[in-house]
Structure 1
């Protein structure tokens, strides 16, 4: 074969890669070249290729198999033979892009080129990319054994397996974040199961960067005409709905939380009602509406998941709820460490608010927190702490306690309101103390309630208090707040509560 012919073959996109380089130039494995030459995948005859071969080959390298193995709103996925490596791969072809502007298409091409540079075990690699004669964009990636959405039912109810899958997804997400890239369309369908290499187990990898954006550019949505830049709605962070440009690390964390919710519940994560369990606190924080209330990094979320899994293993069989409460209460009575407080909050968030035993356990622990501990937990996770106090308040508002313990509960809630101005928490506390005092005829509880109401300063807190008391039986409000004491309350509270204490 002439040198010119050899040089021409080397320029073909399907020609095998060189295995090394010496001073004289690149070197190839001749056995690989012979296999390639005799594989029947390349055109050996002179002249133009047959029409059917040309239509089924992309980039001069990937021979598509029909029909497609998957189809979405604007793309088809095909199995294909890679003539360069003789491997079977997947090809995604984007179609129906006539309505997309040129700039959006150019940005998408740039993102594909960017993806080609990513190398991580938990990120699906882009092997090659290009465009068909019809102008459709395509890219090649390793062939997966399915997506995570196909395996949800198999892992639900198995926290260790869920945490392992989340660990792999998080590793891939943390990697792309370090490259200054936000995914913006994370969901179980975009996490693929890749075939294991010899001696290794199967891995999970993030795919489909069609909505990805680099932090430096802060560009507008890449495929905005196709998906309005919003990703898949149930997994999409609220701020991304309002302004796709505002998506950042925390937007991907929201989507990661929705994936965790789906794996934990076994259901499409359409709502925010998470069943009790050790993973619930992690999910609730990850999918908080406000970005600043979520985990601020993937590493932070994974630390919380590891702690939650450790908590489950620690509490599995040998410790009852009562025993857990006694152990945690003893820590609160001493000088609790940050770790003690973090474990207590995670434990409280995981309890079942509809289970009387769980809630009695909570009331044995929280009231022994001092003001410093309350402030620490509120600062660590304001939304999570508020959820715990809401559940605590609902239970004590309907529960039965000794007279002395009623006073302990009231004093704790007074410390909670002094820890910070949280209008919703103030409303929860007002309703709980009103019911607790009336049920037990405890004047100290009434005194604590009145002091809390007298301290209300903001209109928001006043509105929350009035709304909460409207949902308390009228006779209980009339017991707790008399016509005389109402005069000492701030105007906004007095005007709202006054009609509630007047005789019907």
Structure 2
């Protein structure tokens, strides 16, 4: 990560003109920016080092950057480069023009065909990550962006786990994720399989896309956790029988019998319609015709 002492106010490192704020978190802000050489739009995540005094937080950020650098898939937000000054880290990423999928759902539920399109792209990205030993662990519509062609891009690997974090029992043990999307086995605190909890979160996302609301919801957090733990959800009457059955396989509270990515690819609801075949190759592999 090259370290730069003096940052110009007009053009960051003489390379990027920073524009409007796109979003912010506890220790980072994301801005729209323009590459002065190419004129191309990028997104820059600016991380304030002073706000991350905790060494484990800093290692999380370094892990996110190293994970994102490894991933090259058409449905995953690409990292272009990482720069640093004494006080800040600048993560230059692909700019995804269409905004959050969440904003689109807020306007109303999708048809099953549109839900299927996004779900297939999500599974392509998640399957690609799993084959490379990466588990997202915080999949939700807010972390899914849309490009100008209406294609889905998975972002925010801040909670990702890589295989070297798996303990001797073969399980992950960090409690993480967003309450409404967490798998029941996370609540038991006995460890979990990263691939299986991502599948559960994909199931919650598919329900939200098709129904327009969450399968497990309650203003009382403990009451919501109880519903998740028991797998208590009700499909709306307008859902097709195939989709209801598919959701029951995705939102199976038993991780041992929950549908796997390979089984998802063979499901009748998932396969319906004219779609490109889902594969787990990266962008470079696709270009090489693998």
**Shorter-chain TM-score tier:** 0.7 to 0.9
Partner deviation per Cα, 1:84-106 (whole Å, 9 max, x = no partner): 43211111233487455324413
Shift of 1:240: 2.7
Cα distance in 2 for partners of 1:87, 1:139 equals 16
Name the residue aligned to 2:9. 52
Q: RMSD across aligned C-alpha pairs, in angstroms?
A: 3.0
Name the residue aligned to 1:76. 29
Where 2:114 maps in the other structure, the secondary structure is helix
Q: In the superposition, relative to structure 1, how do residues 64 and 98 fare at CA in structure 2: closer, same or farther (>3 Å)?
A: same
Cα distance in 1 for partners of 2:59, 2:186 equals 22
Q: In the superposition, relative to structure 1, how do residues 142 and 291 fare at CA in structure 2: closer, same or farther (>3 Å)?
A: same
Name the residue aligned to 2:147. 194
Contact in 1 for aligned 2:27/2:52 (Cα 8 Å):
no
**Relative contact order higher in (CA < 8 Å, ≥ 6 apart):** 2
Contact in 1 for aligned 2:265/2:271 (Cα 8 Å):
no
Partner deviation per Cα, 1:167-194 (whole Å, 9 max, x = no partner): 1111111111111100001000111111
- Larger-gyration structure (1/2): 1
Shift of 1:236: 1.4
Name the residue aligned to 1:139. 91
Contact in 1 for aligned 2:147/2:153 (Cα 8 Å):
yes
Unmatched runs of 5 consecutive residues or more in structure 2: 168-173, 218-232, 274-290
Shift of 1:266: 0.6
Name the residue aligned to 2:262. 299
Name the residue aligned to 2:69. 116
Name the residue aligned to 1:203. 151
Partner deviation per Cα, 1:246-285 (whole Å, 9 max, x = no partner): 3410100010001001011111343422224321222222
Task: Name whichever of 273-282 and 165-174 sits farther off.
Answer: 273-282
Query: How many corresponding residue pairs?
Result: 246
Greater helix percent: which structure?
Answer: 1
Partner deviation per Cα, 1:415-455 (whole Å, 9 max, x = no partner): xxxxxxxxxxxxxxxxxxxxxxxxxxxxxxxxxxxxxxxxx
Cα distance in 2 for partners of 1:172, 1:304 equals 18
Cα distance in 1 for partners of 2:200, 2:141 equals 13
Shift of 1:65: 1.4
Equivalent residues in 2 for 1:7-406, closer than 5 Å:
52-53=9-10, 57=12, 60-66=14-20, 68-95=21-48, 98=51, 101-134=54-87, 136-144=88-96, 145-152=98-105, 156-196=109-149, 202-218=150-166, 229-243=175-189, 246-271=192-217, 272-276=233-237, 277-278=239-240, 279-296=243-260, 298-304=261-267, 306=269, 309=272
Cα distance in 2 for partners of 1:261, 1:111 equals 28
After TM superposition, the score normalised by the length of structure 1 is: 0.44
Partner deviation per Cα, 1:119-178 (whole Å, 9 max, x = no partner): 1111111112243432x4442222221111111156725111110110111111111111
Where 2:127 maps in the other structure, the secondary structure is helix
Cα distance in 2 for partners of 1:132, 1:242 equals 42
Where 1:161 maps in the other structure, the secondary structure is helix
Name the residue aligned to 1:438. none
Q: Which runs of 4+ in 1 moved over 4 A?
A: 48-51, 307-310
Where 1:177 maps in the other structure, the secondary structure is helix
Cα distance in 1 for partners of 2:250, 2:57 equals 30
After TM superposition, the score normalised by the length of structure 2 is: 0.73
Cα distance in 1 for partners of 2:47, 2:56 equals 16
Contact in 1 for aligned 2:17/2:34 (Cα 8 Å):
yes
Cα distance in 2 for partners of 1:147, 1:50 equals 30
